[in-house]
Amino acid sequence: AQSVSQHNHHVILSEAASLELGCNYSYGGTVNLFWYVQYPGQHLQLLLKYFSGDPLVKGIKGFEAEFIKSKFSFNLRKPSVQWSDTAEYFCAVNAASGAGSYQLTFGKGTKLSVIP
């Protein structure tokens, strides 16, 4: 079974600081990778996804992530965070689990607090 590890439980940054959130997964086969964000009081929404091709993917709101297959990693980055980026961030992995079905395995999340 696949698993996802997010290295940081809580990250606190000042506005304009650079952000990198770590995500490692364990699965030997082909995976699809996702980052979701949950803003305070809102539902989970997709930030970006990787299926294949260029391992550097760009998402909404200036976020990007790099898939490094040899390291089983999919770290999320943003060059300059804003107060509005305060949220909880979840990394997720999808590996095919039979007959067109799939499930997402989520990391436990990283809370980001941005100080104005």
Partner 1 sequence: KAGVTQTPRYLIKTRGQQVTLSCSPISGHRSVSWYQQTPGQGLQFLFEYFSETQRNKGNFPGRFSGRQFSNSRSEMNVSTLELGDSALYLCASSLADRRGGELFFGEGSRLTVL
Binding region for partner 1 (CB under 8 A): 32, 34, 36, 42-46, 49, 51, 90, 94, 96-109
CB 102 to partner 1: min, Å: 4
The smaller minimum CB distance to partner 1, of residues 18 and 97, is found at 97
Task: Classify residue 74 by burial, with Cβ atoms within 10 Å: 0-12, 13-18, 19+.
Answer: buried
* Closer residue to partner 1 in complex, CB, 70/101: 101
Q: Decide: 104 and 3 in contact? Cβ < 8 Å.
A: no
